[in-house]
Amino acid sequence: MEIDRLTETIIGLCMKIHSSVGPGCLERVYEEILYYEICKKNIKVQRQILMPIVYERLIIPDAYKMDLIIDERLILEIKSIETIAPVHFKIVMTYLNLTNLKNGMILNFKVNRMKEGIHRVFNNSGF
């Protein structure tokens, strides 16, 4: 599946979930439901992926935890907060750099309309 179609599918699922359960749940609820919906579509998805960081000779094996990786091409960061801060974009960019992936999304479900909570993040370095 091409990346634009994949992100379109994810956005559609997020809108379905948001209209069904609303904006008042915890992040883990949205993650669980989105994981379930993605699995129903037979799309490869990994959940709660631990990533290491290496600093000089120090290796921290579980320094980062990514919410979802879709089809080994798209990182999803699930949020249920009032406002997305610049640091959230930096976190997703760090995930993209660590995995050498190009596409990420921040999905904030604590919004009146899901359309307002969808943010794409692109890693253009090295591509």
Residue 127 within a domain: no
Number of domains in the chain: 1
Per-position DSSP letters for 70-127, written without gaps between them: ETTTEEEEEE-SS---HHHHHHHHHHHHHHT--EEEEEE-SSSSGGGGEEEEE--TT-
Report the percentage of the chain scoring pLDDT > 90: 94
Condensed to tens digits (0 to 9), the pLDDT of residues 32-42 reads: 999 999 999 99
In a domain, 33, yes or no: yes
Q: Are strands 74-79 and 103-108 parallel, antiparallel or unpaired?
A: parallel
Which domain covers residue 97, as residue numbers?
Answer: 3-122
- pLDDT by residue (tens digit) across 63-122? 999 999 999 999 999 999 999 999 999 999 999 999 999 999 999 999 999 999 999 999
Q: What is the distance between the alpha carbons of residues 13 and 34, in angstroms, rounded to a whole number?
A: 7
The pLDDT, as a whole number, for residue 124 is 86
Candidates 80, 101, 84, 91; CA nearest to 7 is 101
Residue 23 lies inside a defined structural domain of this protein: yes
Q: Are 70 and 10 in contact (CB under 8 A)?
A: yes
